[in-house]
């Protein structure tokens, strides 16, 4: 990792579908937030990759794009993939998964926090207190078979689950460290391991390593839940949870459930973090059905960018970056707070331009 400095190189993947529509407003908001806090300049580097590139050139992730991503201080990615564009094995083009594997981005961070002013998906008044983080292991688990599965005689298909001690230890240490940081800011200080240890040996091992690492963080509560029970309880009482940590496929599914609790995928930010690199992107896909209609909700992209600033601020010990991140989050909250700004996906009429303008106005004011 580079030493602290005032200019940071950000590799920007505009990607596919609505990606090129939500990326420019996000960069504008990043610039404005950093200008208001001073001391920091972001150098955005456009990086080609994705399904459209594969369709047009036969390459989804050029070597030069990989080099730029590896050399950058952080990576900002909108969305990649088009359902109609697939590899020869029938799977979708997904360079974002390749990026996680190549850079060792083992900690997929999926915050679940309600933005004020939006209709609550859950009827309970307690729903407004939802504030949890799902940590999804992002390099192995069932996804270790990405591009490596097999089909035998058109009769049997196989994919393999992989859980390793080295990655699991780092994942759990990350989760306990995050819970400790959240506890300092008023959260309960609890990490729940989500698995299927009652059925699969791989998950029994996953839980065993979790219990071992929990002893290194005695001030944090260590808890367990089977994934099916967690799916139930995230709907029944999500406000009971603080930090959840789980395997790749389970995390993929539960993070969408978490996004539903927030109102939709357009409100859900995320990060994939490793020891030396990190990618920040919204949880939603490329939404090709609304491309060009101005309906794309850029909020998750904005909040993912705020997570990027937080990560850079922590890594480089620059408070101005964390302040800029808070400015973006506050601007988003204030833009929606009066209940007049409702995205299309939530039944309203606010699209990319309206939401961007509202957030920018809040930042300026």
pLDDT digits (tens, 9 = 90+) for 192-206: 999 999 999 999 999
Query: Is residue 123 over pLDDT 90?
Result: no
pLDDT digits (tens, 9 = 90+) for 127-137: 888 999 999 99
Q: Within a domain: residue 89? A: yes
Which pLDDT value is given to residue 364? 93
Q: Within a domain: residue 44? A: yes
Q: Within a domain: residue 255? A: yes
Query: Is residue 145 over pLDDT 80?
Result: no
DSSP letter (8 states) at residue 2? P
CA distance 40 to 37: 8
Query: Is residue 3 over pLDDT 60?
Result: no
> Do residues 235 and 274 both lie within one domain?
no
> Do residues 198 and 256 both lie within one domain?
yes
Percent of the chain with pLDDT over 90: 83
- Residue written as token pair 């407003």: 25
Q: Are strands 190-195 and 221-226 parallel, antiparallel or unpaired?
A: parallel
> Do residues 5 and 101 both lie within one domain?
yes
> Do residues 177 and 233 both lie within one domain?
yes
pLDDT digits (tens, 9 = 90+) for 262-280: 989 999 999 999 999 999 9
Q: Within a domain: residue 65? A: yes
Which residue segment(s) compose the domain that 225 sits in?
A: 120-262
Q: pLDDT tier at 216 (50, 70, 90 boundaries)?
A: very high
221 burial (CB, 10 Å; 0-12 / 13-18 / 19+) is middle
Q: Within a domain: residue 115? A: no
User: What is the rounded average pLDDT of the residues 4-16?
Assistant: 88
> Do residues 134 and 255 both lie within one domain?
yes
> Do residues 306 and 354 both lie within one domain?
yes
Domain end point (choices 262, 287, 306): 262
Q: Are strands 271-273 and 131-137 parallel, antiparallel or unpaired?
A: unpaired
Domain end point (choices 233, 262, 291): 262
Q: pLDDT tier at 2 (50, 70, 90 boundaries)?
A: very low
Query: Is residue 4 over pLDDT 60?
Result: no
Q: Which residue from 1, 23, 21, 28 is spatially nearest to 12, judged by alpha carbons?
A: 23
Rg (CA), the chain: 20
> Do residues 130 and 221 both lie within one domain?
yes
Domain count, the chain: 2
Query: Is residue 143 over pLDDT 80?
Result: no
Query: Is residue 74 over pLDDT 50?
Result: yes
> Do residues 246 and 338 both lie within one domain?
no
Q: What is the CATH number of the domain that holds 205?
A: 3.40.718.10
Question: In the chain, what's the furthest Cα-to-Cα distance?
Answer: 64
CA distance 73 to 278: 8
Q: pLDDT tier at 5 (50, 70, 90 boundaries)?
A: low
> Do residues 275 and 234 both lie within one domain?
no
List alpha helices for the chain, DSSP H: 19-37, 51-57, 63-71, 95-103, 165-184, 201-214, 227-236, 248-262, 299-316, 319-336, 352-364
> Do residues 136 and 77 both lie within one domain?
no
CA distance 207 to 200: 11
Domain end point (choices 229, 262, 295): 262
Residue 40 near residue 313 (C-beta atoms within 8 A): no
Sorted by sequence, the CB contacts under 8 Å of residue 38 that are 6+ apart come out as: 320
pLDDT digits (tens, 9 = 90+) for 326-354: 999 999 999 999 999 999 989 999 999 99
Judged by phi (left if over 0) then psi (alpha if -120 to 50, else beta), residue 71 lies in alpha
Query: Is residue 157 over pLDDT 50?
Result: yes
Kindly report the average pLDDT of the chain as a whole number. Answer: 93
> Do residues 147 and 191 both lie within one domain?
yes
Sorted by sequence, the CB contacts under 8 Å of residue 35 that are 6+ apart come out as: none
| Sheet order of strands, 190-195 included | 41-46, 7-13, 74-77, 278-280, 271-273, 107-113, 131-137, 243-246, 190-195, 221-226
CA distance 89 to 154: 13
Q: Within a domain: residue 213? A: yes
What is this structure's pTM? 0.92
Which pLDDT value is given to residue 126? 87
User: What is the rounded average pLDDT of the residues 173-197?
Assistant: 96
Query: Is residue 31 over pLDDT 80?
Result: yes
> Do residues 313 and 281 both lie within one domain?
yes
């Amino acid at each position: 990792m580079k030493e602290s400095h005032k200019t940071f190189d950000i590799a920007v993947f505009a990607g596919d579908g609505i990606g090129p529509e939500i990326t420019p407003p996000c960069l504008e908001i990043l610039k404005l937030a950093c200008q208001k806090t001073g001391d920091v300049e972001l150098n955005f580097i456009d990086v080609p990759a994705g399904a459209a590139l594969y369709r047009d050139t036969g390459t989804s992730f050029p070597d030069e794009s990989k080099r730029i991503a590896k050399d950058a201080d952080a990576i900002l990615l909108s969305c990649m993939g088009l359902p109609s564009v697939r590899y020869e094995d029938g799977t979708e083009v997904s360079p974002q998964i390749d990026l996680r594997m190549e850079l060792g981005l083992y900690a997929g961070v999926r915050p679940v926090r309600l933005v004020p002013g939006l209709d609550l998906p859950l009827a309970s008044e307690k729903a407004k207190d939802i504030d949890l983080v799902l940590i999804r292991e992002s390099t192995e688990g069932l996804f270790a078979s990405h591009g490596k599965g097999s089909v035998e005689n058109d009769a049997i298909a196989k994919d393999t689950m992989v859980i390793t001690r080295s990655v699991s230890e780092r994942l759990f240490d990350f989760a306990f460290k995050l819970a400790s940081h959240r506890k300092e800011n008023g959260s309960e200080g609890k990490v729940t391991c989500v698995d299927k240890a009652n059925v699969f040996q791989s998950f029994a091992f996953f839980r065993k390593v979790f219990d071992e690492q929990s002893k290194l963080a005695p001030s944090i509560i260590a808890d367990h839940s089977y994934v099916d029970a967690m799916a139930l309880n995230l709907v029944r009482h999500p406000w009971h949870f603080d930090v959840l940590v789980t395997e790749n496929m389970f995390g993929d599914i539960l993070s969408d459930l978490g996004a539903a609790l927030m109102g939709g995928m357009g409100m859900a930010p995320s990060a994939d973090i490793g020891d030396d690199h990190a990618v920040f992107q919204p949880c939603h896909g490329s939404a090709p059905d609304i491309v060009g209609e101005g309906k794309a909700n850029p909020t998750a992209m904005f909040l993912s960018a705020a997570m990027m600033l937080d990560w850079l601020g922590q890594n480089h010990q620059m408070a101005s970056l964390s302040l800029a991140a808070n400015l973006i989050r506050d601007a988003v909250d204030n833009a929606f707070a009066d209940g007049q700004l409702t995205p299309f996906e939530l039944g309203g009429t606010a699209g990319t331009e309206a939401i961007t303008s509202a957030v920018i106005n809040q930042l300026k004011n």
